[in-house]
Structure 1
């Protein structure tokens, strides 16, 4: 009588694999903390540059440029909600093909101000990332899967992604199109992708929108105030990430 076949245990389901998951998550959080630190330095540099330009613009013939920016904003307001929808569509398309999200946020701030610019840039960049996600999941999955197979550690990390995982991934200093492709190959649910992306985009989108809005202000005091607000936002985000990583290390 033949012996019944006994299935070999799946290495991915062993306790060792389970123990490795928190280590991978901790490593991702540490990498995210380093990336947020780089973003903070980048925002600080932008603030210094924009502040210098605004000071020159208010005390030199460059002031005429500020008047042109105000005219652009007035012209957009004539189109009402259609200008917002048009910007969301354009920003979604450029983010989908891999354009830097920071430029989209800055442009939104210039055209719509800090509050409205933050909202339209957040919607547009999230929608663009989702379109790229759908393209990978339903169109180019096989091409990118071969590249992912050469990085098994990343594949394991994305095997069961959560909203928090997506949030941390969005803090990494990697091109958005790469992250969208990797998430598109995972088993992530659509709502998890959208919510994690929306939350993960908030800090940098808000800071960049404030900087963009500062460029188009006709008051130097308002411009400098928004630049300081941008610094406050990115420093608060960096502090929260650092505190989370520090808490995990001491636990």
Structure 2
């Protein structure tokens, strides 16, 4: 009887080991569901208010940099959390230059994690967390020309959802090193403008903030409706390799 129980336990452990990838996948999905629930039910307002983010970050004292970087990582990995407000909060807390740097560090680390998750678990997993619409849209865009150049443009043009692209790139032809290089270069202008906006909240210069808002909203609207056409035109103008 004891031998049978031992044999049964061994078979069970062997089956768990053989299916370890699926177990991790289930765990990741469970975390997404739990975090998503917590986010929508309790913390939606937190990610819409730079003042709340500042208060939370600075509550960690000398570890505030780490707390903010962690917040940026979470925002990228859990891509439905709005990223612009967190970037604005970076400038609001640390001023333009330092806010841009800490945001860039957190976003790059978050992008690395998202890419690695997608690369490890593959397309089946990505289909569970990314809409078919986004998969088709970005799958088509990434094939327009040099994948490095296209990734740079996707991250450069406002209005195109950035963070979901990290997961899609993880199952594309772009290497991790090239993805990090070109996505980071593309992100820099947007991060800098958001941090500058956040830094100017302190000044009370409403005219400056209104001008930045109008310009960014206009560019984002163009990116949403004309992003694919813009990328196609720029790719066509790229010198042949």
TM-score class normalised by the smaller sequence = 0.5 to 0.7
Please, which of 90, 93, 104 is the counterpart of residue 111 of structure 1? Answer: 93
Match of residue 129 from structure 1: 111
Give, in angstroms, the shift of residue 114 of structure 1: 1.3
TM-score (norm 1): 0.53
Residues 102 and 175 of structure 1: is their aligned pair in 2 closer, same or farther, counting only changes over 3 Å?
same
2:76 aligns with one of 88, 95, 107: 95
- Corresponding residue SS for 2:61: coil
Judged with a 3 Å threshold, the aligned counterparts in structure 2 of structure 1 residues 156 and 213 are, in CA distance, closer, same or farther, namely: closer
Aligned residue number for residue 55 of structure 1: none
Measure how far apart 1:144 and its partner are.
3.5
Q: With a CA cutoff of 8 Å and minimum separation of 6, indicate the structure with the bigger relative contact order.
A: 1
Give the match's secondary structure for 2:191. helix
Partner of 2:33 in structure 1? none
**Structure 2 CA distance for partners of 1:214 and 1:246, relative to 1, 3 Å:** same
Determine whether 1:188 maps to 2:174.
yes
Counterpart Cα distance in 2 of 1:204 and 1:118: 9
Aligned pair 1:85/2:70, yes or no?
A: no
Q: 1:135 to 1:224 in 2, by over 3 A?
A: same
Structure 1 residue 160, shift from structure 2 partner: 6.2
C-alpha distance in structure 1 between counterparts of 2:142 and 2:234, whole Å: 24
Question: For 2:85 and 2:233, how far apart are their aligned partners in 1?
Answer: 29
**CA-to-aligned-CA distance 1:201-220 (integer Å, 9 cap, x gap):** 111111111111111x2x44
Q: Secondary structure at the match of 1:157?
A: coil
**Aligned residue-pair number:** 173
How many angstroms apart in 1 are the aligned matches of 2:235 and 2:115? 32
Give the root-mean-square deviation of aligned CA atoms.
Answer: 4.5
Change (3 A) 1:88 1:141: same
Residue 138 of structure 1 corresponds to which residue in structure 2? 120
Q: Is the 8 A contact 1:160 1:187 kept in 2?
A: no
Question: 1:100-152, CA deviations, whole angstroms, 9 ceiling, x for partnerless residues?
Answer: 22111111111111111111111112221221111111124324379599679
| Structure 2 residue aligned with 1:198 | 184
8 Å CA contact retained: 1:91, 1:124: yes
- Cα distance in structure 2, aligned partners of 1:116 and 1:178: 26
1:196 deviates by 0.9
Q: Which has the larger radius of gyration?
A: 1
